[in-house]
Amino acid sequence: MATERTDLLQGTLDVLILKTLAPAAMHGWGIAQRIQQLSQDVLAVNQGSLYPALHRLEEKGWIAAEWGSSENNRRARFYSLTRAGRRQLAEETESWERFAAAVGRVLAAT
Amino acid sequence: MLKRIVSTMKSPFEGKRMESDLDEELRFHVERETEENVRRGMRPEEARTRALQRFGGIEKTKEECRDAGRAVWLESFLQDLRYAARSLRKNPGYAAAAVLTLALGIGANTAIFSVVYGVLLQSLPYGGGERLVRLRVDAPGAGIADGRFSPPDVADLRGSGDAFDAVSEYHSMWFVLLGRPEPERVQTGVVSANFFDLLGVRPILGRTFRTGEDQHGAEAVLVLSNSYWLRSFGGDPSVVGRVFRMNDRPHTVIGVLPPIPGYPEDNDVYMPVSACPFRSDPEVEHNRDAGMLRAFARLKPGGTLRGAQAQLNTLVARLEHDYPGSYPASIHTAVTPVPLRDELTAQARPTFLLLSGMVGLVLLLACASVANLSLARLVRREKELALRSALGASRRRLARQLLTESLLVALTGGVLGLVLAVGCRQLLVMFAARLTPRASEIAIEGPVLLFTLGVSLLVGLALGLVPALSSRRSLVTALQEGRDTSAPGGPARVKLRGLLVVAQVAISFVLLAGAGLMLRTLWKLAQIDLGFKTERVLTSRVDLNFSRYPEDAQKRDFQTKLLDKLSSEPGIVSAALAGNFPLSDRGPANGRFRIEGRPGAAPENLPVADFQRASSDYFKTIGVPILHGRGLSNVDREDAPKVAVISESLARHFWPGEDPVGRRIGLDGQHPTDEITWLAVVGVVGDVRQYGLLKPPTEQVYLSMLQYPGLSTTCFVRTSSEPRALERAVRAAVHTIGPEQPVDRFRTLEEIHEGALASPRLTATLLVLFAGLALAITATGIAGVIGFSVGARRREFGIRMALGALPRAVRAMVLFQGMRLVAVGLAIGLAGAFLLSRLWSGLLYDVAPTDPMTYGAVALGLGAVAAAACFLPARRATSVDPMVALRNG
């Protein structure tokens, strides 16, 4: 499947988006803010790649979009996690942890 | 690469709405960012600029968003397609079986639909369209079914009222056309000048007839049919304006017709009535009893058949009142308008509808069989699907993959089926041509292609939904429960497969019953006693050119010389001439006669018989037995007393228990004042199927050709060896005696007989083919399902046998399980066949549509095949070593 071959950066953004959406539905701007906030400003999300990623995830059926009213009472597109998205998130979280642990072990060995 | 393709493609699925959604979404982001910047203390303009800067190229982002959506859609579609192709390639047995089964089903449907569309559905190839009718005349009281009008009748029809905006007459004759390298006998449609305007046919070259060209004194003109023009003139446009001699007059070609059905007859040329020497004869023109014409009419715009019928009824009533001699009330003359569409297709409709129904069933069966195959395959793939589902593939995505796969199978089958149908087209046209003049309009194009595509898509969707529906539960649970591949795959699916087997058996029963009934019909038709012997007899038409042989003496001279010449030819056992050949598709030449010594009746109540002229050796040549008295002989010359030979059924009808030989029958003259001609009955001969296989033998009077010579003659020669080899000898003999005399339509009596059987034979062949296909598919289906369940229950059987169950009992159990399905299928099939029996009743001969013998034989045969299909896997059930089964199960 194509997802198995996606490059690390894109794959990373995807899993961050999924994670961000896990507790509640959110619009694009909110997602960007939230990632930046949670990573304590380490990860700045490039908007130029955020929206294509959202559309890709929606097309894959991992997230669903709906028009709703934003915190400042404006029409905004809200994204939420689907069941398949939740499964995907669990999967990717696990594989990320495995990956991070492995890298950590390698780096700690020296 | 993919991205480039995608971005150049303007996907039709993404309309304006999505575009504006994207705009709004991005605008919201920028505005929200601006707001945030303002909150942090920036001035509004600066805040906005910063927000835009941070965002980067909006257009670029939009483009990438669109691509992301499309790429995933297209990518996943291509992926599905690749995946489907790969998974089919990995399983070539399944793929081949499924594609081939569907190809046969779809191909058969395409082929039959092309016939149904070309003949029954497509609009008439005439501009006059649905307003065109043929006026049909019947007089049941005189034994006239679909008779002919006389010239005064046609004039009366024209003046009968305003229901029709045009009325035209038609008859067809053979004339000799001179001016080509050889004299050519051409079938000539003789019509009113408005005939083609009425039909709405425009010439492709020149013009058709003009008003007045059918009046006395008009120049003789000809319009060529398209096929004759192509056949004899190679499609040369310069033929318009050329002059040929016919009936001792110059005839100028004025136009060429487009390809239209050869209806009412497949004429070579058309001429206006004034050019026909018979029709324009003043004797005929005013004779109400000279019935020789057919009449066509066009309803006025908005006119109804009912209105036309009322007008025709009024006309008949008036004629009966004004001319009681020609239209006695006792014969119940009736004129009815018959829509031309019915005329052209009525004979073909029941056969084509039956075949459509049958191929529909074949397709249903093919689908059931492929569904069954793919269900069996699905069980084996369950683990794979469950794994993919666990790896994050959504249910929708998996269903879409299965759907893509079945669509791929169905479309491949459809393409292959189309190839099959195209290959069969020629055969189908030949078949249809026996039933309808519209056969040449059959083509595999436009609507037929759409039909095939539609059917393929429908089949693909249906087949794709079956696994999707049945996998609702088992898909996810499969992994959780850790089921292995030998498990039955869920009770719902076993039930579904059982149902599919029941459906297959039921459908097969209906198809087999249809084929069986048709075979019985064919057998009965072949058994019909024709009344003559078909072996080694060559027939040909020798229609005398009336302008060369106007006098009886000249005709007699030609005929006698021809017979003498033929009889002396080596290889010819005997030769004869007669007015018509047996099994002819023409109607009888009915005439009335008196019986000497019986009380005289009114002319219209006299007995009716079919009158046939024959030469002396006619009965001997075609093998009609002389039952009593003698046949015709050379002593029955014009100066000898007039004689008649009658058929057995006529003798029984009018002389029951008496000997008709020696009695006399009388023929009235043209006019009531004419003297009655008395003929002595000299013999009785066997009955002959003169007018078609299905029409009961006609009551016939045979006249001596020497006493009643005629123009239209059929020549018969019985040969000592292969009859076709004598064709040259017959041709040479005719040309020696009459150098300008055409002779054609060489056919053996066997070919004529075969021709009469051809259409039911082809229908039977097609049905047997379909039924055989159905039987094979069903047998494999049953064996597959039972085999599968045996495989799944190996452990159970092992335990049973370990506990002491006899292998026989286990086998019986498996057999019973399968046969229960078969029995249910048979019962449903029987009910279905009873319900559908009306569909084929019109095509059967001497066999009831619910013939118990056929149904019984079909049930037994199908049951036996099904039992065999169950038995093979049942044997496998007991061939298992209980210990092995227990250990490995």
Judge contact between B179 and B249, C-beta under 8 A: no
Chain A residues lying within 8 Å of B26, measured CB to CB: 51
Judge contact between B608 and B644, C-beta under 8 A: no
pLDDT at B308: 94
ipTM: 0.81
B185 and B270 together in one domain: yes
Range of the domain at A46: 8-108
Residue B312, Cβ density class (10 Å: 0-12 exposed, 13-18 middle, ≥19 buried):
buried
B878 and B775 together in one domain: yes
CB atoms within 10 A of CB B38: 15
Distance from CA of B32 to the nearest CA of A (A): 7
Residue B116, Cβ density class (10 Å: 0-12 exposed, 13-18 middle, ≥19 buried):
buried
Q: What is the per-residue DSSP string for A15-66?
A: HHHHHHHSSS-EEHHHHHHHHHHHTTTS-PPPHHHHHHHHHHHHHHTSEEEE
Q: In angstroms, rounded to a whole number, what is the distance separating the alpha carbons of residues B342 and B293?
A: 20
B54 and B103 together in one domain: no
B836 and B690 together in one domain: no
Chain B residues lying within 8 Å of A46, measured CB to CB: 56
Question: Cα B865 from chain centroid?
Answer: 31
Query: Which of the two residues, A9 and B186, has the higher pLDDT score?
Result: B186
Amino acid code (one letter) for B196: F
Distance from CA of B348 to the nearest CA of A (A): 54
Residue B133 lies in a domain: no
Distance from CA of A22 to the nearest CA of B (A): 16
Distance from CA of B394 to the nearest CA of A (A): 6
User: Across the interface, do A60 and B72 touch by the CB < 8 Å criterion?
Assistant: yes
Return the CATH number at A101.
Answer: 1.10.10.10
Q: How far is residue B627 from each of residues B204, B659, B660, measured CA to CA in Å?
A: 57, 12, 12
**Does the CA dihedral B410-B414-B420-B425 come out positive or negative?**
positive
Chain B residues lying within 8 Å of A83, measured CB to CB: 394
pLDDT at B8: 37
pLDDT at B457: 93
Chain A residues lying within 8 Å of B76, measured CB to CB: 59-60
Judge contact between B65 and A52, C-beta under 8 A: yes
Q: In angstroms, rounded to a whole number, what is the distance separating the alpha carbons of residues B518 and B767?
A: 8
User: Across the interface, do B24 and A91 touch by the CB < 8 Å criterion?
Assistant: no
Nearest to B29 among A29, A72, A83 (CB): A29
Task: Classify residue B848 by its DSSP letter.
Answer: -
Residue A2 lies in a domain: no
Residues making up chain A, counted from first to last: 110
Judge contact between B431 and B764, C-beta under 8 A: no
Boundary-marking domain end, from B298, B332, B366: B332
Residue B442, Cβ density class (10 Å: 0-12 exposed, 13-18 middle, ≥19 buried):
buried
Chain B residues lying within 8 Å of A2, measured CB to CB: 75, 79
pLDDT at A1: 34
Mutate to test the interface with B, among A18, A49, A51 (most CBs of B within 10 A): A51
B515 and B568 together in one domain: no
Helix (H, G, I), strand (E, B) or coil at A102: helix
Q: What is the 3-state secondary structure (H, E, C) of B390-439?
A: HCCCCHHHHHHHHHHHHHHHHHHHHHHHHHHHHHHHHHHHHHHHCCCHHH
Residue A14 lies in a domain: yes
Chain A residues lying within 8 Å of B72, measured CB to CB: 56, 59-60
pLDDT at B484: 45
User: Across the interface, do A48 and B54 touch by the CB < 8 Å criterion?
Assistant: no
pLDDT at B744: 80
User: Across the interface, do A51 and B28 touch by the CB < 8 Å criterion?
Assistant: no
pLDDT at B6: 41
Q: In angstroms, rounded to a whole number, what is the distance separating the alpha carbons of residues A18 and B525?
A: 78
N-to-C CA span, chain B: 51
Interface of A with B (CB under 8 A): 1-3, 27-29, 46-49, 51-56, 58-61, 70, 72, 74-77, 82-84, 87-88, 91
Mutate to test the interface with A, among B72, B74, B75, B387 (most CBs of A within 10 A): B72
> What is the total count of domains within chain B?
5
Q: In angstroms, rounded to a whole number, what is the distance separating the alpha carbons of residues A30 and B647?
A: 105
Distance from CA of B467 to the nearest CA of A (A): 21
Q: Which long-range contacts (CB under 8 A, 24 or more apart) does B863-868 make?
A: B863/B819, B863/B822, B863/B826, B865/B775, B865/B778, B865/B779, B866/B505, B866/B778, B866/B779, B866/B782, B866/B818, B866/B819, B866/B822, B867/B815, B867/B818, B867/B819, B867/B822, B868/B779
Distance from CA of B17 to the nearest CA of A (A): 13
CB atoms within 10 A of CB B236: 13
CA dihedral B393, B396, B397, B402 (to 10 degrees): 120
Residue B394 lies in a domain: yes
Residue B521 lies in a domain: yes
Q: In angstroms, rounded to a whole number, what is the distance separating the alpha carbons of residues B173 and B151?
A: 16
Task: Classify residue B181 by its DSSP letter.
Answer: S
B400 and B498 together in one domain: no
Chain B residues lying within 8 Å of A55, measured CB to CB: 65-66, 68-69
Residue B308 lies in a domain: yes
Residue A1 lies in a domain: no
Q: How far is residue B536 from each of residues B593, B717, B743, B747, measured CA to CA in Å?
A: 35, 8, 19, 11
B226 and B320 together in one domain: yes
pLDDT at B743: 84
Evaluate if residue A6 carries a pLDDT over 70: no
Boundary-marking domain end, from B692, B717, B741: B741
B182 and B65 together in one domain: no
**Which residues fall within 8 angstroms of residue B814, CB to CB, at 6 or more apart?**
B786, B790, B870, B873, B874, B877
Q: Which two tokens stand for residue A98?
A: 């495995």
Distance from CA of B15 to the nearest CA of A (A): 16
Q: In angstroms, rounded to a whole number, what is the distance separating the alpha carbons of residues B290 and B151?
A: 7
Nearest to A51 among B26, B32, B392 (CB): B26
User: Across the interface, do A75 and B24 touch by the CB < 8 Å criterion?
Assistant: yes
Chain B residues lying within 8 Å of A61, measured CB to CB: 394, 396-397
Helix (H, G, I), strand (E, B) or coil at A105: helix
Range of the domain at B770: 494-529+750-889
User: Across the interface, do A76 and B75 touch by the CB < 8 Å criterion?
Assistant: no
Chains A, B: CB contacts within 8 A come to 86
Judge contact between B452 and B460, C-beta under 8 A: no
Mutate to test the interface with B, among A6, A46, A55 (most CBs of B within 10 A): A55
Residue B415 lies in a domain: yes
B726 and B837 together in one domain: no
Residue B847, φ and ψ in degrees, nearest 5: -135, 130
Q: In angstroms, rounded to a whole number, what is the distance separating the alpha carbons of residues B360 and B368?
A: 12
Residue B377 lies in a domain: yes
Evaluate if residue A5 carries a pLDDT over 60: no
B808 and B878 together in one domain: yes
B312 and B230 together in one domain: yes
Q: In angstroms, rounded to a whole number, what is the distance separating the alpha carbons of residues B269 and B247?
A: 14
Residue A3 lies in a domain: no
pLDDT at B587: 67
Interface of B with A (CB under 8 A): 21, 24-26, 28-29, 31-33, 35, 54-57, 60-61, 64-69, 71-73, 75-76, 79, 390-394, 396-397
B525 and B475 together in one domain: no
Residue A86 lies in a domain: yes
Q: pLDDT, tens digit, for every residue of B351-377?
A: 888 889 889 999 999 998 888 888 877
CB atoms within 10 A of CB B808: 9
Question: Cα A33 from chain centroid?
Answer: 12
Distance from CA of A93 to the nearest CA of B (A): 13
Mutate to test the interface with B, among A34, A59, A72, A78 (most CBs of B within 10 A): A59
Residue B802 lies in a domain: yes
pTM of the model: 0.71
Distance from CA of B54 to the nearest CA of A (A): 8
Nearest to A52 among B33, B61, B73 (CB): B61
pLDDT < 50 positions in chain B? 1-16, 473-476, 479, 481-488, 889
> What is the total count of domains within chain A?
1
Boundary-marking domain end, from B332, B365, B396: B332
Q: In angstroms, rounded to a whole number, what is the distance separating the alpha carbons of residues B267 and B225?
A: 7
Residue B538 lies in a domain: no
Mutate to test the interface with A, among B29, B58, B75 (most CBs of A within 10 A): B29
Distance from CA of B68 to the nearest CA of A (A): 5
